[in-house]
């Protein structure tokens, strides 16, 4: 009983992995699909920004991230 459950689970994982690999190969060579996905990502980002009350485009400025350099390392000279 346990062996059949284990075998069935492994076979489902194998089929899912194979399907994922095939889809990835198909998407990699499709420039039109890549463009459509990029447009959809941009549209979704604009919608999320509007829902959060932020402007559509982030303001240009210094890169956001932790400061770096000798003054911001937290160690004393």
Domain limits, the chain: 1-27
- The token pair at 24 is 């990835």
Q: Which residues contact 50 (CB under 8 A, 6 or more apart)?
A: 56
pLDDT digits (tens, 9 = 90+) for 11-29: 999 999 999 999 888 878 7
Alpha carbon 24 to its chain's center:
14
Confidence band, pLDDT 50/70/90 cuts, at residue 8: very high
Give the closest residue to 56 by CA, choosing from 48, 65, 64: 48
- In angstroms, the Cα distances linking 57 to 25, 37, 54 are 32, 19, 8
Query: 73 vs 42, which has greater pLDDT?
Result: 42
Give the model's pLDDT for residue 15.
97
Give the model's pLDDT for residue 74.
55
Residue 66 has pLDDT above 70, yes or no: no
pTM of the predicted model as reported, rounded to 2 decimal places: 0.42
Q: Which residues contact 77 (CB under 8 A, 6 or more apart)?
A: 70
């Amino acid at each position: 009983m346990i062996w059949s459950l284990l075998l069935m689970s492994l076979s489902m994982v194998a089929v899912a992995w194979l399907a994922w690999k095939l889809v990835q190969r198909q998407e990699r060579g499709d420039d039109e699909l890549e463009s459509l996905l990029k447009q959809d990502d941009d549209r979704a980002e604009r919608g999320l920004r509007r829902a959060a009350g932020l402007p559509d485009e982030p303001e240009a400025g210094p890169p956001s991230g932790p400061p770096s350099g000798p003054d911001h390392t937290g160690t004393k000279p």
